[in-house]
Amino acid sequence: MALAPTPANQDVLFYILPGDAPSDLDQFVLKLLNKIHRQGRQADLLLPDEATAQKFEERIWGLRPESFIPCSLNGDFKAPFQLYTQFPATPGNDVLINLNPAFEPMRAIEDGAYHRLIEILDQSPQRIELGRERWRQYKKLGLTPTSHKL
């Protein structure tokens, strides 16, 4: 039986994209979701607004049949991948991919809601500054983030 997430067994990953094109960010998120799915894991994707969530839902459902990733918007039905615009009342307990600027890391850490927290940054000044702030927050909460420059 897997241990419940705690700061001792949670990890935080920052993926840093080389540019700031929205299409690059979208493509990377889809690639990451596909990888998580192939690993047999589950993920919640926290998005900034309903329009972005619907866009991702359409893109995920539109993947090639061999890349099918079952997902649901705001917990409409049970699926291994959930897309939310607010921190979920019932977190998925495995991976959280955060693209929501209003997300407070403490909530996911204190609740032990996830084993892995993923932040994806592009080179836009707003995302870089937000990423730096989140990095400091995670450190303050006792976690050691890892960065991956792509």
CA distance linking residue 87 with residue 44, whole number of Å = 9
58-99: pLDDT as tens digits: 888 877 777 788 899 988 889 999 999 999 888 887 999 999
Please, what are the domains in the chain? Answer: 10-149 (3.40.50.10110)
Q: Is 124 helix (H, G, I), strand (E, B) or coil?
A: coil
CA distance 32 to 120: 10
**Prediction pTM value:** 0.90
Residue pLDDT, tens place only, 18-74: 999 989 999 999 999 999 999 999 999 999 999 999 999 988 887 777 778 889 998
pLDDT for residue 7 is more than 60 = no
